[in-house]
Structure 1
Amino acid sequence: MMITTKRTWILLVAILCQVVTGLQDLNAVKQKFQYKHSFKGPSLVNSLGDIHFWEYGGNAIPSWDQVRVCPSIHSRQGWLWNKEKFSHSEWMVEIKLRVTGRMKTGADGMAFWFTEEKAEGGPTFGGPERWRGLGVFLDSFDNDGQQDNPQIQVVMNDGATSYNHYVDGVGQDQLSCLKEFRNRPHPVRLRIIRVKGTLEVWVHEGLSQRDTDYDLCGMVSTTPNIPDEGYFGISAATGGLSDDHDVMSFIVHSLHPLDEGKEATEESAKEYQDRFDQYAEELTKKRGTPSKQPSDHVNVYQDSFEHEFSYEADWERNLRQILETQYDVNRAVKILQDKTDQIINTLLVASPSAGGGALPAGMREELTSIKNTQSLVQHQLGDLREYLEKNQAKGGITSEALQPIYELKHVAERSSKSSEEVLAKLSTLTQVSSCPPPPVCQSCVTIVQLTILASVQVVILLVYNWYRQRQESAAKKFF
């Protein structure tokens, strides 16, 4: 037991030392932005629909603010490859992406590439079957049934080996980690760093918008299979199941030693600063607006860009509508229960004046209508499951499937209004009567109404849970 504990501590210390060493290596280098190997929205595409310095194909769909590498259609794939060859041996790539789908399980996944040659499509997550270089895979589907997905894998290939999908690349990967990257509230970010013979993979799981919430997926020594010069690429694919695979930004920095480029003198730096200030002043005069600090522009742009992609998916909107309508139905039924209790209490006071508990014919019909309405509410709750099952084959919960819930809400509201009218009539009848109130008798109607309210809540929850289980059981992989 002590030996095992000692080995565990040694392993943790070794990992910590690697992380600290990696951070020190990154701090000891200078970053240079490589715009010819990057893209970022907004204004991602030009007037011809092309991405500057990039080419795309397959089912990839570029737009103003993102690239849908592969849409949520069965058995599709898409890809993007940089036109320019990257000639720096040390670099850092930051990718902001989204993987979203209606099902609990998705497929197949997305891949980042840095290879010696470009490949337009293929069986490895929309990328090449064999490649010489680096592949970082975001694998959504558990092909081997080991419950180790979704996961992120790093595979360095020599160009002679094919990726084995049937075992999820087990034995071919140099490192892997279990990370949830589907249906996150914010975009997921990947940071891949190659510096001083080491490859680091950091993951931001999209649970917040803070730039510091990165977790280390792993570190591994690079092999000769990764070329010093190569092409960057992104690909994605779907199978029997499907997800939307979107990339919002792909930012590349080359890494250089701090002492590199010190030939720039202070005079040249001052000259550049003066030229920049002069240009900014002329631009401000042309616009006729007061100048602002550059940091203000950067902060405003970053804030707007971070909140730009916080959209509401279809399944989130439909679920929110169900919950809101359920709340309205519960509130209407509760009001109906309160009005019915008032009617019962009023009847106990008014019945002696009507001759031994007899009620006028019109009022008796209205009470019968209220009772029938309550039965209708229970009946429609029972039919709600059938409506949801009917709309199951149409692609999930739609506005048509929500219609029975809306009808149930209107029925409860009409019943509440009828109860108010009957209560007003009974109040008038009570004011006319001068007979003393009869002895108070214990009634069971209040308990019945409470039971109806509880049944409404339980039935709706059971139907929703049944619907979700039906969706999960239908998720099968046809690879």
Structure 2
Amino acid sequence: MAAISCRRHRRDSKSIHMLFSPQKMTPFTILCSFILLLFTVGQCFADDDHEMEEFLKREYSLTKPYQAVGPLSSSHWELMGDAMVTTEQVRLTPDMQSRQGAVWSRLPCHLNDWEMQVHFKIHGKGKKNLNGDGLAIWYTKERMQKGPVFGNKDNFTGLGVFVDTYPNEEKQIEAQKKRYTPSTQRIFPFVLAMVGNGTISYDHERDGRPTELGGCNAMVRNLKHDTFLFIRYVRRRLTVMIDIDGQHEWRDCLDLPGVRLPKGFYFGATAITGDLSDNHDIISLKLYQLTVLRSKQEEEDQEEEITIPSVDNMELLRLGQTEEGMSGLAIFFTVLFSMLGCIFLVVVGLLLYGHWNENRRKRFY
């Protein structure tokens, strides 16, 4: 597959070179080459998916009839707080005030590349913006510790993906009789991700904005169809997608390279309620091991031991967050299209100028 892919890409590159040769530079060939370039870039991303194979890891998965959940040492999952198991779900919190609950894996995960598919449900009697607070999916060094971050401890070490259902910052601004600017206003519920190194605090009052890696809005409350969250970590790239529309289609939420997560951390799910409440249910957590083809350079990089979670180029990431909801892939294509658009305009301008200059010379003969 990889060899075929390389040959195809070399053939496409040769076609692009021929289209861009000086003898064939016409507006039509420029447009064709532009389309071919976009197709080639799309194929590069598609090939990455074809190079992966996935295997369900049952020891890290939580599924019906939840026989592996309980206080026994032989169980793979352990409950905490107000969480309880029913025949249909693991209910992290009931629709009651001031509750928090969790379910944590007993086994540390030592996989290089993995994918977590979360089947969840958030529902309750509260109306829009009168519910809370949300749930979180974790891959962290610590486990079974209560706290204010969606039922887990603050200053955690690892990855947290949050489904935040209550706009704390928006309510504070409304109380101060101020208004959001259109560039900063969000629609809740909102899904966001954060990587902590044990010293970074989650800013609850600002809904985690100062430390988030990115996110998207997700209207997940009181839906009659199933809702899913997809978290993939492969080649040190973090991808988060959601399927909440009942169409069985994944929608991009976050795509970020340069995320460094150590091995040997624990998976978990937590939820919390305050003055407002909801039922927060986990129906399944399915973890897949990904087998990925790597280059020699990637194999060497993989051998580097990571002990502290981190994200490369956090300063550039902060600049990229000026536009809410844009993933790393969306930012890449925005920059790519902008550059190609500028090149296209310059080439067309040069061709038009050359045509005009040639016609002007002809008038003197």
- TM-score when scaled to structure 2? 0.61
CA shift in 2, pair 1:56/1:222, >3 Å: farther
2:250 corresponds to which letter in structure 1? Y
- The answer for the alignment partner of 1:186 in structure 2 is 225
- The answer for the alignment partner of 2:62 in structure 1 is 39
**How many positions carry a matched residue from both structures?**
242
Q: Which runs of 5+ in 1 are unaligned?
A: 1-13, 260-479
CA shift in 2, pair 1:183/1:30, >3 Å: same
- The answer for the alignment partner of 1:221 in structure 2 is 257
- The answer for the alignment partner of 1:396 in structure 2 is none
Deviating above 4 A after TM superposition, structure 1's stretches of 4 or more consecutive aligned residues are: 14-23, 46-51
Match status 1:254 vs 2:293: no
8 Å Cα contact 2:104/2:143 also seen in 1: yes
1:63 CA drift (Å): 1.5
1:23 CA drift (Å): 4.6
Percent identity between the two aligned chains = 28
Match of 1:142 among 148, 152, 167: 167
1:235 corresponds to which letter in structure 2? T
Match of 1:109 among 124, 130, 134: 134
Q: Distance in 2 between matches of 1:17 and 1:116?
A: 40
2:288 corresponds to which letter in structure 1? H
Match status 1:195 vs 2:218: no
- The answer for the alignment partner of 1:243 in structure 2 is 278
3-state SS in 2 of match to 1:40? coil
Which fold has the larger relative contact order, with Cα–Cα distance below 8 Å and residues 6 or more apart in sequence?
Answer: 2
Deviation per residue, 1:72-98 (Å, 9 max, x gap):
110110011100010012100000000
1:20 CA drift (Å): 6.4
1:37 CA drift (Å): 0.4
Q: Distance in 2 between matches of 1:15 and 1:40?
A: 41
1:45 corresponds to which letter in structure 2? Q
1:19 CA drift (Å): 7.8
- The answer for the alignment partner of 2:102 in structure 1 is 79
1:60-459 alignment, distance < 5 Å: 60-104=83-127, 105=129, 106-145=131-170, 147-148=185-186, 149-205=188-244, 207-208=245-246, 210-211=247-248, 213-224=249-260, 226-257=261-292
**Higher strand residue share:** 2
**RMSD over aligned Cα atoms:** 2.7
1:183 CA drift (Å): 1.0
Q: Distance in 1 between matches of 2:191 and 2:224?
A: 19
1:28 CA drift (Å): 0.8
Q: Distance in 1 between matches of 2:43 and 2:139?
A: 26
Q: Distance in 2 between matches of 1:22 and 1:121?
A: 40
Match of 1:28 among 51, 65, 75: 51
Q: Distance in 1 between matches of 2:200 and 2:40?
A: 33
3-state SS in 2 of match to 1:176? strand
- The answer for the alignment partner of 1:352 in structure 2 is none
1:188 CA drift (Å): 0.9
Q: Distance in 2 between matches of 1:245 and 1:86?
A: 25
CA shift in 2, pair 1:102/1:200, >3 Å: same
1:232 corresponds to which letter in structure 2? F
Q: Distance in 1 between matches of 2:284 and 2:111?
A: 20
Who wins on radius of gyration, i.e. which is larger? Answer: 1
Deviation per residue, 1:415-459 (Å, 9 max, x gap):
xxxxxxxxxxxxxxxxxxxxxxxxxxxxxxxxxxxxxxxxxxxxx
3-state SS in 2 of match to 1:31? strand
CA shift in 2, pair 1:15/1:199, >3 Å: farther
- TM-score when scaled to structure 1? 0.47
8 Å Cα contact 1:202/1:214 also seen in 2: yes
8 Å Cα contact 2:68/2:76 also seen in 1: no
Deviation per residue, 1:113-157 (Å, 9 max, x gap):
001222422110001211111000000000001552210011011
